[in-house]
Amino acid sequence: MRSLPRLEGDPGTVLGQAARLRALADRAEALRDTTLGLRAARWDGPAGVAFASRLAVLPPVLGEVARRLGGASDELRGLAGSLEDLQRRVLAAVLAHEAAWLEVEQWARRASAEPDETLRAAHRAAEREWARAGAAAATAHHVAMEEWRAVDARCAAALRALTLDSLADTTAYRLWHAGHDVLAAGVSVTAWGPLKPLSTLGAVGVAAMEVGFRVAWDEGEWSGIALESVLLVAGPASSTLRKAAAAQRLPLGRRLVRGAGESLLDGVSPRRILAEREAAKELADALAAERAAAVARVGSAAGRRLLDARLRVEQAVEQALRDDVRTLRRGTAEQRALVAGAWAVDGATRAGSVAAKVREARSTRAGEAGEVAR
Partner 1 sequence: MSSFSVDPAEVLAVARAVEDAAAGLADLAAGSGDDRVTDGLPTGAAATALREVVGGWRRQQGALARSVAGLGDAARLAGSAYLAVESEVTGSMGGGG
Q: 164 to 183, contacts with partner 1 by CB under 8 A?
A: 167, 169, 171-172, 175-176
Contact status: 244 vs partner 1 (CB under 8 A): no
Strands (E), 220-319: none
CA dist., res. 204 & res. 222, Å (int): 20
Site stretch for partner 1 (CB under 8 A), options 254-262, 279-287, 297-305, 366-374: 254-262
DSSP assignment letter at 76? H
CB of 141 to partner 1, least distance (A): 15
How many residues touch partner 1 under the rule CB under 8 A: the total is: 97
Cβ closer to partner 1: 159 or 265?
Answer: 159
Residue 13 touches partner 1, criterion: CB under 8 A: yes
Sign (positive/negative) of CA torsion 236, 242, 243, 245?
positive
Among 63, 70, 134, 202, binds partner 1 (CB under 8 A): 202
User: Pick from 4, 93, 140, 187: which binds partner 1 (CB under 8 A)?
Assistant: 187
Window 282-341: residues binding partner 1 (CB under 8 A)? 333-334, 337
Residues 31-60 that bind partner 1 (CB under 8 A): 31, 34-35, 37-38, 41-49, 51, 54-55, 58
Cβ-based nearer residue to partner 1, 82 or 106: 82
Of the candidates 114, 138, 122, the one whose C-alpha atom is nearest the C-alpha of residue 1 is 138
Q: How far is it, in rounded angstroms, from Cα 372 to Cα 115?
A: 147
When asked if residue 207 is in the footprint of partner 1 (CB under 8 A), the reply is: no
184 in contact with partner 1 (CB under 8 A): no
Residue 57 CB, nearest distance to partner 1 (Å)? 9
From residue 99, give the alpha-carbon distance in Å to each of 92, 134, 162: 10, 8, 44
| Alpha carbons 22 and 27: distance in angstroms, whole number | 9
Closer CB to partner 1, 56 or 325, in the complex: 56
Least separation in angstroms between residue 5's CB and partner 1 is: 11
Length reported for the chain? 374
Residue 194 binds partner 1, judged by CB under 8 A: yes
Q: What distance lies between CA 202 and its chain's CA centroid?
A: 29
Which DSSP letter does residue 23 get? H
- In degrees and rounded to multiples of 5, residue 60 shows phi and psi of -60, -35
CB-based contact 225:211 (threshold 8 Å): yes
Residue 324 Cβ vs partner 1, minimum distance, rounded to whole Å: 19
Site for partner 1 in 80-139 (CB under 8 A): 80, 83
Q: Is 195 in the site for partner 1 (CB under 8 A)?
A: yes
Within 257-276, which residues bind partner 1 (CB under 8 A)? 257-258
d(CA 197, CA 199): 5
Q: 294: helix, coil or strand? A: helix
Binding region for partner 1 (CB under 8 A) out of 97-105, 204-212, 222-230, 231-239: 204-212
**Does residue 68 interact with partner 1 by CB under 8 A?**
yes
Q: Considering the rule CB under 8 A, would residue 222 count as an interface residue with partner 1?
A: no
- When binding is defined by CB under 8 A, the residue of 4, 63, 65, 335 that contacts partner 1 is 65
Q: How far, in Å, CA of 232 to CA of 55, rounded?
A: 34
Which one of the spans 29-37, 119-127, 295-303, 360-368 is the region binding partner 1 (CB under 8 A)? 29-37
Listed ranges 125-133, 211-219, 309-317, 349-357: which one lies at the site for partner 1 (CB under 8 A): 211-219
Report the C-alpha dihedral over residues 259, 264, 267, 273, rounded to 10 degrees: -80
Q: Which of 151, 6, 3 is nearest to 90 (CA)?
A: 6
Of positions 96, 104, 183, 201, contacts partner 1 by CB under 8 A: 201
Residue 311: CB partners within 8 Å, gap ≥ 6?
A: none
Which of 142, 254, 271, 312 binds partner 1 (CB under 8 A)? It is 254
Between 140 and 207, name the residue whose CB sits nearer to partner 1. 207
Spatial distance between the Cα atoms of 328 and 338, rounded to a whole number of angstroms? 10
CA distances, 215 to each of 45, 52, 94, 118, 156 (Å): 18, 18, 66, 98, 43
Residue from 94, 232, 233, 256 in contact with partner 1 (CB under 8 A) = 256
